Chains A and B, each alone.
Chain A
């Protein structure tokens, strides 16, 4: 199994509070991704990174920011959590684009009350 961990695995927070989710990899892969999964929507890309300090927006980036100061860590921050951000968040890594596979972490279940 690819070395990807996510923390925390579960979190309950209140509306309006900031939340940071962490993705850590031991594979030294260049590319890292954050997805969210909601019933009826499947997985949707939030943000991605193609190198240290190189990040860009995905399909559903509003209300989220990311940072990558080291190859192994990719942080997702909800600046002011809302109930619509209640979801399961998955991190993924990849050694390349196109013909390279992505490996996913175990997910973080976030509930915003």
Chain B
């Protein structure tokens, strides 16, 4: 499986934008880039995903490099509630194993928000 690399931790101030980077230099043409986050004592929460084009939803934006070897999750205006571990995960859109593909979680980025 293609792997992702994220910084262990990042710190930001409340009400400022946050840019969380992810490197995935071995990404294949059929891999989707997924982002999840996990707040303390909760299950992981889906944030956003994309294939080639930048994506926006109510929670965040996903900027994908032209060569797809890196991506950035953008929180436009961080709040204290955004303090969580953020996971960047590749999921094969060409999966044809007949079964299902689970998510492979790394260690993610621990985002700290300062008031």
Binding site for B on A (CB under 8 A): 31, 33, 35, 42-45, 48-50, 54, 56, 58-59, 90, 92, 94, 97-99, 101-107
Contacts and interface: CB of A to CB of B under 8 A. Distances in A.
Contacts of A44: 105
Interface of A is mostly: strand
B103 A97 contact: no
B95 A97 contact: yes
A30 to B, nearest CB: 8
B102 interface: yes
Contact of A50 (B46, B49, B93, B100): B100
Nearest to B103: A102
15 contacts: A42-B105, A42-B106, A43-B105, A44-B105, A48-B100, A92-B103, A97-B100, A98-B91, A98-B101, A99-B51, A101-B34, A102-B44, A103-B46, A104-B43, A106-B43
Contact of A102 (B42, B46, B51, B106): B46
Given A90-B44, A106-B43, A56 B108 contact: no
A22 B20 CA distance: 35
A106 B94 CA distance: 29
Contacts, number: 70
A42 B107 contact: yes
Contact of A98 (B92, B98, B105): B92
Contacts of B49: 99, 101
Interface residues of B, number: 27
Interface in B8-43: 30, 32, 34, 36, 42-43
A31 B109 CA distance: 27
Given A48-B102, A98-B92, A98-B94, 6 more contacts: A42-B107, A43-B105, A45-B104, A97-B100, A101-B49, A106-B43
